[in-house]
Every structure is written in structure tokens, then in C-alpha cells.
Copies of this chain bind each other. A is one copy, B any other.
Amino acid sequence: MTVHRVRVDALDGEVTLGHREVRHLRVLRLTEGDEVRVFDGKGREALAVIRQLDDARAILALLETVDAAPETPTPITLAVALLKGDKLSDVVRASTELGVTSIQLLSTRFADVPDISAAKLERLRRVAAEASKQSRRAVVPDVLSPIKLADLPLTTQGYVAHPGSSDRLADLLTWTASVTLVSGPEGGFHDDEIDLLLTRGYRAVTLGKRILRAETAPLALLGAIVATGV
């Protein structure tokens, strides 16, 4: 049986849910006395029982803390260029399953689209929350407004897939520092952008010899990481 999972602001002794989650509980035919799981989006999860349920709100009483799906040893940021249509949603959904801790949107030279609307950013955050629930994580990755490539922080553990490289991500990866994966737009990065990343500590790594779509490359990088067992 799948236990319904509800995101809450904090894991306090008692939690009140509003309209939206009440509707979910009703759809699932849950009633007072039933158990659900609550998670705080920051890594903690607990069992809770529905104490009170009416059309406007639900009150949950927390029982014991439970283990959520474990996180990677250090945080992983996916820095991904703005992509057209639903591609960013697909990347956010799959990369959340694959364990990213935050998703930093990037403006790049050959970006498919120049910017993102507030509504779309909000939609991506909902996708991350939903994917986190589905993959039974208790962490919801942040989806951060676009910054310029030049504003990416310096790193000792940054990787960018580049056709010219033969270095392997799995050979370089350690868990002594947080990890940043950088992934370009459909048109790829400009050579100057790759150079910029290299001077800022990022390493170019291989993803094989075929051309990958912009929405496939970040999942391949993350696949190489999760296949190490973390």
C-alpha cells in the first residue's frame, strides 16, 4: 500500500493543512484516524495521523520520525541552461528523482529562450515538489531564477559535459565537496563559455561520442553519479 505523502512547513507536533491538500486527502478517500506521511522538504519525514478533516482544513498529529530516501553524501547542484517548451519540466522532474539538491537556471549565449516567467518558474518548483514526493525523497530541490554563466560560483567539484573531453566523471568525482553539474542549451556552449567554466574550476567530462539533446545530457551525467551507488 502506498501511504500518501504531504509536504508541510515544519515537523511540529501538530500540522494544519489547507484546501489543496484537503482535496488530495478526500480524493484518496482518507478520513479521520488514517495515517499519512509528512515531510518538510529539508530532509526529514514523519508518520502522522489525521485528527480532524473537514472541507476547509485538516489537522494532523505527528507520530514517529521515519527514514526518507537517502540523499547524496554532499549536495548536487544542476546548473542548466534555459530550454524551450516542456523540456525544463522534464529535466527538473528526472533530475529530482536522480537526487539533485538544487537546480540553478542559467542564461547562456546560445540559450533557446532569453528568460523565464515567474509563472513558469513557479510551475517548475511544483514539478520538483511532486517529483520529490514520487521518488520518496524528503528534500525538495530549489529551482533558482536564472543567473549568467559568469555568475556561477567557483568550484572544486564542477563538471561540464564537453564533446572534446575524454575525462570520466566517475574517475574524478569525490564526495569531499558539493558537486555542480553544468548543462548547456540546445545549441551548446560557446567556446568562450567553456573556457570561462574551466578558469572557474570546472572540469570537462565525456558523455560518449554521440550528440545528446540538451534535455538528455544532464540525466546522463546524473545517471553516471547514481550508478556509483549513492
Residues of A within 8 A of B (CB): 69-70, 72, 94, 97-99, 134-137, 166, 168-170, 205-213, 216, 219-230
Contacts and interface: CB of A to CB of B under 8 A. Distances in A.
B170 A219 contact: no
Contact of A220 (B169, B208, B219): B219
The 3 closest A-B pairs by CB, nearest first: A223-B223, A208-B226, A224-B227
A97 B208 CA distance: 10
21 contacts: A70-B210, A72-B208, A94-B213, A94-B216, A97-B216, A98-B212, A98-B220, A134-B213, A136-B210, A166-B229, A170-B224, A170-B227, A207-B226, A208-B226, A209-B230, A219-B219, A219-B223, A220-B222, A220-B227, A223-B223, A223-B227
A45 to B, nearest CB: 13
B206 A227 contact: yes
Given A220-B226, A221-B223, A224-B227, A209 B170 contact: no
Please give the count of copies of this chain that the complex contains: 2
Nearest to A206: B229
A211 B135 CA distance: 5
Contacts of A220: 98, 219, 222-223, 226-227
Given A94-B216, A97-B216, A222-B220, A227 B208 contact: yes
Interface of A is mostly: loop
A208 to B, nearest CB: 3
A95 to B, nearest CB: 9
Contacts of A137: 210
A211 B226 CA distance: 11
Nearest to A205: B227
Contact of A219 (B136, B166, B168, B216): B216
Contacts of A228: 168, 170, 206, 208
B211 A134 contact: yes
A119 B87 CA distance: 26
A70 to B, nearest CB: 5
Contacts of A166: 229
